[in-house]
Chain A
Amino acid sequence: KAGVTQTPRYLIKTRGQQVTLSCSPISGHRSVSWYQQTPGQGLQFLFEYFSETQRNKGNFPGRFSGRQFSNSRSEMNVSTLELGDSALYLCASSSGQVAEAFFGQGTRLTVV
């Protein structure tokens, strides 16, 4: 059974640019959640999508957005990148909100 796949694994962007990250969940999983991980703040919840609808949202500015497609694949977009957006972005898939979530390897974003 294939795990959660995140692409790309590494990205380097310039301040002010925008970026799109992709996540393919485990087959059959309809919930996809996104997290930002930094050394100072740890793992922080961005948002969760279920059946193409954003069901939960963390405390991040509107520059962070996402969407989910009918095949449950999800994308996360960050516009007007800032240096502080440099982080490991993790995607997790699960069969439901209170079911165990399985994480991908993450996308390491560096903003210069």
Chain B
Amino acid sequence: EDQVTQSPEALRLQEGESSSLNCSYTVSGLRGLFWYRQDPGKGPEFLFTLYSAGEEKEKERLKATLTKKESFLHITAPKPEDSATYLCLTGQNFVFGPGTRLSVLP
């Protein structure tokens, strides 16, 4: 059975304190790994798509990377507006990870 896990479950950072979120998956023949952010009461907002090991994508303070078993979302010098739940999703089986709740304190 395909599984997606994320760690940590929750993360509190001071503004400017860089860190990384992890998404580990056990799926056969990954066909895309997607990252989303979700604010309370809203639908997930698309961030990145990664298709092959070694691929990297960047957007503002975020950078996503992919290996054969996991993906990382690196947050550099975060700001309070980066506070949200970050979710990863495997492409072929629509399996979401449980998410990481990120809080960035001013």
Proximity string of chain B (84-106) to chain A, C-beta cutoff 8 Å, 1 when within and 0 when not: 00010101111111110000000
B49 contact set on A, CB distance < 8 A? 99-100
A42 contact set on B, CB distance < 8 A? 96-99
On chain B, the number of residues with a Cβ less than 8 Å from chain A's Cβ atoms is 22
When the two chains form their complex, are residues A106 and B43 in contact, meaning their CB atoms are under 8 A apart? yes
> How far does the Cβ of B62 sit from chain A's closest Cβ, in whole Å?
15
* A-facing residues in B1-53 (Cβ within 8 Å): 31-32, 34, 36, 41-46, 49
Query: A interface, how many residues as a size bin?
Result: 20 to 34
> How far does the Cβ of A63 sit from chain B's closest Cβ, in whole Å?
20
When the two chains form their complex, are residues A101 and B34 in contact, meaning their CB atoms are under 8 A apart? yes
A81 interface residue (CB < 8 Å to B): no
> Could you say which of B31, B32, B42, B89 contacts A106, with CB atoms under 8 Å apart?
B42
The residues of B with any CB-CB pair to A shorter than 8 Å are: 31-32, 34, 36, 41-46, 49, 87, 89, 91-99
